[in-house]
Amino acid sequence: DAGVTQSPTHLIKTRGQQVTLRCSPISGHKSVSWYQQVLGQGPQFIFQYYEKEERGRGNFPDRFSARQFPNYSSELNVNALLLGDSALYLCASSSRTGSSYNEQFFGPGTRLTVL
């Protein structure tokens, strides 16, 4: 079975541009979460979506938005890019939410560089 897939693998943008990152969860998983990982740090939670609804939002500005589609894939959009948005963006899927378990499976990430 395929794991979590993300596209593109790498992306280079300039300040002020907009970017869309894509994620396909493991088949049967209905929950998708997005994380930002700056070099040398642990991932920071951005969003969680479950059954196409936003279920959680981290401490990120409104320039960050996301959505989940009927097939449970997801997109993360970032507007008005800043140099500080350069990071590895990780998508994780899990089979459920709202329980005491939250075993997430991560994709390989999208490396975004903002020049």
Q: How far apart are CA 53 and CA 37, in angstroms?
A: 23
The interface region with another protein, picked from 14-22, 36-44, 61-69, 74-82 by CB under 8 A, is: 36-44
Q: Is residue 34 a contact residue for another protein (CB under 8 A)?
A: no
**CA dist list (Å): 45 to 2, 16, 48, 49, 64:** 24, 23, 8, 12, 12
Phi-psi region of 52 (alpha: psi -120 to 50; beta: other; left: phi over 0): left
CB 29 within 8 A of CB 91: no
Site for another protein in 52-71 (CB under 8 A): 55-56, 58
Shortest Cβ 16–another protein spacing (Å): 27
Residue from 19, 35, 81, 85 in contact with another protein (CB under 8 A): 35
The number of C-alpha atoms within 13 Å of 84 and in the hemisphere containing its C-beta is 4
Residues that contact another protein, how many (by CB under 8 A) = 30
Residue from 33, 68, 74, 93 in contact with another protein (CB under 8 A): 33
The binding site for another protein (CB under 8 A) comprises: 4, 31, 33, 35, 40-45, 48, 55-56, 58, 90, 92, 97-109, 111
